[in-house]
Copies of this chain bind each other. A is one copy, B any other.
Amino acid sequence: MRASRFFISTLKEAPSDAEIVSHQLMMRAGMIKRLGSGIYTYMPTGLRIIRKVEGIIREEMNRAGAIELLMPLVQPAELWQETGRWDKMGPELMRVKDRHGREFAIQPTSEEVITDVVRSEIKSYRQLPVNFYHIQTKFRDERRPRFGLMRGREFTMKDAYSFDRDVAGMQASYQNMFDAYTRVFNRFGLKFRAVAADNGAIGGTGSHEFHVIASTGEDALVYCKESDYAANMEAAEALAIGERLAAAQALTKTSTPGKTKCEAVAELLNIPLQQHVKSIALTVENEGKKTYFLLLLRADHELNEIKVSKVAGLKDFRFSTEAEIQDVYGTVPGYLGPIGAKLPLTVVADRTVANMADFVCGANELDFHFTGANWGRDVAEPIVADLRNVVEGDASPDGKGVLAIERGIEVGHVFQLGTAYSEAMGATFLDENGKPAPLQMGCYGIGVTRILGAAIEQNFDDKGIVWPDAIAPFELVLCPMGMDRSEMVKEQVEKLYAELMAAGVDVIVDDRGLRPGAMFSDWELIGVPHRVVIGERGLKEGNLEYQGRRDDAATSVPVDGMVAFIKGKLGK
């Protein structure tokens, strides 16, 4: 490519609505252009990156035996009604009526459509397993679109759907996709981590997320350096800390006026925070009847609401109101505790709390706490559950070391769906005995356009973006010095350009005639990973200047060896 025939448009400043670095850099590098809230035109440089990302995904999906098709954007409401998602999905589902008043969804994902395809196409176990995918535009009407491509409304996703005859088959298809995703992210050249995830609203029996590691990531990833345990914070199991000691103190009601926070109580009483218990009051309403739960966490731990919702009876919990707390505990928030409530309630203690002895908790009385509280003696043994987020240094649930935490950006998700969709939509096949059985389904997504944002959050410096070779808009830029003045430079540039193209290098020659500073800063901002400068002075000595985007200084390379040198750098 010649820059004079391409469209490069960089900015000194990012627009003020670009809050995060990837959004700022993509705007400044002219990769995207805002059309509306969460809606972007992919400019030529940005589209080149998207195409490379798509190309790698496509190759690995095909290698894994998945078959590409293309499902429509505009999908009849009737299909979404069959699975109940027409009602379940809120305003995120963009709905539209045609000229006849018929309702449609603009697809956020395609489980319904692929299940509709499959229920008419798959008749026999002989046709299984099968895995269909497409790379297609999606729309989700996010409440607050932001962060450029990270949380856009219109975006590109690769979504694949596997169909199997039984659970073992589904699990094999799932593993096959897991492995394909691992190859995809390795080929991108990004640091990533696959973590076990909660299945969430999509249902099913198992799932993993693929995260690009970045300190700016929204998600906390839990992993064990000594083993391959990894889960996102929602799903990471927290083991009990310590073992329960025998009671050594008497239960003592202590005055703690105005101290509603554990930290303040700890300071007042000079008792370590790890000896305090935090009480959280919940209410569950069922057909007008209210039941009450008190959750107990060690004071320095954080509640994990996903885990709470999995405790028996707490699927539809909410936090109690102040009025309810007054009724149940006879006091105000800040002084609650498991001892001496006014109304019946169920106490659920986090595993670590259940192991505590001589702990501090609220006394269900304004301005008072108990010290020296003990299970079995002062209060009945609680229900025990995993209620908290893990913290760095917790024991790994696989018993093989301790947990660490890093930040990530979710860019892929694989799900075992089981028969949720196939049963709702009547997608069955005839098994070996000629009996109809529901298809076992998996679904697998990669956020294509989001990859761009995530890759930048992981790879940038104060000059701009630093693309990995595999997804860079160009692998190499040739920067001629004074191409218009020097025949020697011009000839060498054309020769090198032709040789590099013949060698399969994705090269752009900057023939715009800019001064060196402006030229270099453009390509550093855009993030092309390799640069060769062709100048008369170097040429007279038979040399060109190579500089990698992360290199501090340039390297002199003989003219004749440059193509081989570049091929070496690119591993070609």
Residues of A within 8 A of B (CB): 5-7, 9, 33, 35-36, 39-44, 46-47, 50, 65, 67-76, 91-92, 94-96, 98-99, 102, 104, 106, 113, 116-117, 120-121, 130, 132, 137, 139, 141, 143, 153-154
CB distance from A93 to the nearest CB of B (A): 10
Query: Is there contact, CB below 8 Å, between B41 and A69?
Result: yes
Q: Which residue of B lies closest to A35 (CB)?
A: B72
Query: Is there contact, CB below 8 Å, between B106 and A72?
Result: no
From B6, B71, B99, B139, A74 is in contact (CB under 8 Å) with B139
* 8 closest cross-chain pairs (CB), A and B: A91-B99, A96-B96, A42-B70, A36-B76, A39-B72, A41-B71, A99-B141, A44-B67
Query: Is there contact, CB below 8 Å, between A73 and B139?
Result: yes
Q: Whole-angstrom distance between the alpha carbons of A120 and B30 in the complex?
A: 12
| Known A-B contacts A69-B44, A137-B137, A141-B98; A116 and B76 likewise in contact (beta carbons under 8 Å) | no
Residues in B whose Cβ lies below 8 Å from that of A74 = 36, 39, 94, 106, 139, 153-154
From B5, B50, B72, B113, A65 is in contact (CB under 8 Å) with B5
Residues in B whose Cβ lies below 8 Å from that of A42 = 69-70
Query: Is there contact, CB below 8 Å, between B96 and A69?
Result: no
Query: Is there contact, CB below 8 Å, between A154 and B73?
Result: yes
Q: Whole-angstrom distance between the alpha carbons of A108 and B298 in the complex?
A: 59
Query: Is there contact, CB below 8 Å, between B7 and A104?
Result: no
Query: Is there contact, CB below 8 Å, between A47 and B68?
Result: yes
Query: Is there contact, CB below 8 Å, between B68 and A44?
Result: yes
Q: Whole-angstrom distance between the alpha carbons of A378 and B93 in the complex?
A: 72
Q: Which residue of B lies closest to A78 (CB)?
A: B36
Q: Which residue of B lies closest to A143 (CB)?
A: B99
Q: Whole-angstrom distance between the alpha carbons of A40 and B102 in the complex?
A: 17
Query: Is there contact, CB below 8 Å, between B94 and A69?
Result: no
Query: Is there contact, CB below 8 Å, between B117 and A33?
Result: yes
| Known A-B contacts A67-B44, A117-B33; A98 and B104 likewise in contact (beta carbons under 8 Å) | no
Query: Is there contact, CB below 8 Å, between A9 and B94?
Result: no
Residues in B whose Cβ lies below 8 Å from that of A137 = 73, 137
Residues in B whose Cβ lies below 8 Å from that of A41 = 69-72, 113, 117
Query: Is there contact, CB below 8 Å, between A72 and B40?
Result: yes
From B9, B35, B67, B104, A75 is in contact (CB under 8 Å) with B35
Residues in B whose Cβ lies below 8 Å from that of A94 = 74, 96, 98
CB distance from A17 to the nearest CB of B (A): 15
